[in-house]
Amino acid sequence: MIDVEDLIALVTAYNPKSDTAKIREAYAFGFKMHDGQVRHSGEPYFTHPVAVAALLTEQRLDDATIITALLHDTVEDTRASYTDVEARFGKDVAELVDGVTKLTNLQLSSSETKQAENFRKLLIAMSKDLRVILVKLADRLHNMRTIKYQRPEKQVQKARETMDIYAPLAGRMGMQWMREELEDLAFRVLNPEGRSSIIRRFITLQRETGDVIHKITHDIRLELDKVGIEADVFGRAKKPYSIWRKMQEKGLGFSRLADIYGFRVITNDVQDCYRVLGAIHQRWKAVPGRFKDYISQPKSNGYRSIHTTVSGRDGKQVEVQIRTRQMHEVAESGVAAHWSYRDGVRAENPFAVDPAEWISNLSERFNESDTVDFLEHMKLEMYSDQVFCFTPKGDVVKLPKGATPLDYAYGIHTRIGDSCVGAKIDGVRVPLWTRLKNGQSVEIITAEGQRPQATWLDIVVTGRAKSAIRRSLREENRERYIKLGGELARVAFEHVGKRSTPKALKTAAKQLGLQDHKELLARLGSAELTARDVVSTLYPELATREGEEVEQGRAVLGLAPDQTPTRGTCCQPVPGERIVGITYRGQGVVVHAIDCPTLVDLEDQPDRWIDLHWHSGLHPAAYTVTLEMTISNDAGVLGRICTLIGEQKANISDLHFVDRKPDYYRLEIDVDLRDVENLHMVMTALEADNDVAEVKRLRRADRSAARPLERVAQRMAAYE
């Protein structure tokens, strides 16, 4: 763990006027609050906040942000309160810590509707102070770097959330280095074989061609020396995920993929950027269609650079990015450059974007969207690369890559998009599905009485256009959709023995984040919602059809809508067992089996107990149970054991040997099961094998602390 003096040295290196006493106080306070807590790796928990703070020093952020990083988990995970933090460190830090806590509690990987609402909350938190999201991104980066210590299913959940939300958000904020690392760390979890194959091919390529990066960097430096330009030249191989994504998008194999290497030229001024571009294009052939000038047309997050792809040494295509040192600072830090310090004062960078203006630009297009449209819009906006087009008057319109004239029309005004009947690009009439390119001039042709068509949804790519088209289509066919939706709801509710009353529909609409029950029926009639979605919102225990697997998110019944269950690692309960929920601050509800010894220590805290039960439907084989086995040390025994488990439709997720002797092995196997019956079948099959001396279910609770459970049983009887 980084000690306090090393951390202060990192801060004072760029901010000699830092309030080091306050940082020391925050370090001591955080250390005290987290004392006794450990991470999944076994390290003291406080190593995490310190690592997050160290990551933020790399972006030369202010004292308040560094202190927030040290304290960002205290309010959520310790006895410290908002009032405690405010009294010691001031209102600014307290509000930042509170903002990070609220972001941590958002379930961004939950159902689509709830996820959209949480996206809105995320945006609101960002709009109050963007430093909140900077701390959260650093928090997620460190957690992803140490994710191997999490349970496999937790690793997948966090990696998917990182890939879908946090990585593109970092990119949208201009922090490209963080986006690339987050993507690659998530890729390592989600597709380890794919990542390994890319790395193996890189090693083979380097063995065959030598150090291409060093050679091309040397070639570029020689060309710059010829024309007397002072600049720094850096080269690197692109990240495995970046290469994998290009392979998937273009349908190409690794050997046919171009520009797997990237080079940066950092100059002293803007004039030198264009001189460098001329020198490179004189020496190597430029690849058509692969040139972008983000200096003359910067991105909304302040990013400025010239991008060009050329056929370099041995015909290999390489991408070269050219920018000044100040532009490079913004390219590395993005919106965070606004808070960067140098020599104790806020660094004056003319290219850094005002965070308030950036947030305003990001959120202004979302105000008209409803929850689901908002979610789609947000993701499209975060992932988009940009295309710059011109109006007939010469104004610039920024659109995501792949945008069409319809996106352009809706980007100007919803009324123009709704009444669009045609478009001209550079004076030539083109179909509405034409993909726009940089530098084109676009003119929209409109007509009174024109209304959006359903087919337009397949043409547009921006969330704003999709939202406006759907809204117009709903309004046009609203009465017909409401009538049809009412009939669909009636049939669906009768199917589960319930009545589709106005009150029931109003309650479902509220749960789904819709305006009223008529809006719910309209979406039901237009097939934007399914009848099963509506029924499951009110009656989750009745919504699973026969033969259909119960989603893990709906497996436990008896929770409040805002409560999220987590299986207790101590007892590993599985469907079919009697269970109880225990509330934990910052962890939601932990589900325990009724005979878990841990419960004895909680019997004097009845307000934390929740009576729960499993969904009665068919569960997926996703509930891990650890089995401890003693087997003969003979050839083929372990293979036969694995086969027996597989025959019972169970999956082995982990296996390790606890003890090895000449005549036997003792091992622990993590088996993914459907329910308690599946567990019984697996254990019976194993016990019947002649080479299995013993098999038992292993529970992690401390057996020495276990006491009689009669009082626990009595307490559960009171719930029944």
What pLDDT, in 10s, does the model give residues 375-421?
Answer: 555 554 554 556 778 888 877 787 877 889 999 999 888 899 999 99
Which CATH number applies to 559-720: 3.40.228.10, 3.30.360.10, 3.40.50.2300, 3.30.70.260?
3.30.70.260
Token readout for 510 is: 């509220």
Residue 44 DSSP class: B
Where do the structural domains in the chain lie, given as residue ranges? 4-189, 193-346, 359-475, 477-542, 559-720
Burial (0-12, 13-18, 19+ Cβ within 10 Å), 208? exposed
What pLDDT, in 10s, does the model give residues 111-134?
Answer: 444 455 555 556 666 666 778 888
pLDDT given at position 424: 92
pLDDT given at position 713: 46
Cα–Cα distance, 700 to 704 (Å, whole number) = 11
Cα–Cα distance, 563 to 456 (Å, whole number) = 39
Report the amino acid identity of residue 11: V
Burial (0-12, 13-18, 19+ Cβ within 10 Å), 385? exposed
Given a cut of 80, whether residue 90 has pLDDT beyond it is yes
Cα–Cα distance, 66 to 684 (Å, whole number) = 56
Three-point CA angle 663, 667, 671, nearest 5° = 140
pLDDT given at position 65: 92
Three-point CA angle 272, 273, 279, nearest 5° = 85
Q: What is the mean pLDDT of the chain?
A: 80
Indicate the CATH number for domain 4-189. 1.10.3210.10
Q: Which CATH superfamily is domain 193-346 in?
A: Beta Polymerase, domain 2 (3.30.460.10)
Cα–Cα distance, 318 to 220 (Å, whole number) = 12
Nearest to 370 by CA among 522, 228, 496, 493: 522
DSSP E strands in 275-404: the ranges are 285-293, 306-311, 317-324, 341-342, 345-346, 386-390, 396-400
pLDDT given at position 594: 85
Neighbouring-strand partners of residue 306 = 293, 322
325-342 core/surface letters (b: 16 or more CB in 10 A; e: else) = ebbbbbbbbbbbbbbbbe
Indicate the CATH number for domain 359-475. 3.10.20.30
What residues are labeled active site? 76-77
**Report field, pTM of the whole predicted structure over 0.95:** no
Q: In the chain, pLDDT over 70 holds for what percent of residues?
A: 82
Distances (CA, A) of 405 to 274, 409, 415, 481, 715: 31, 6, 14, 29, 66
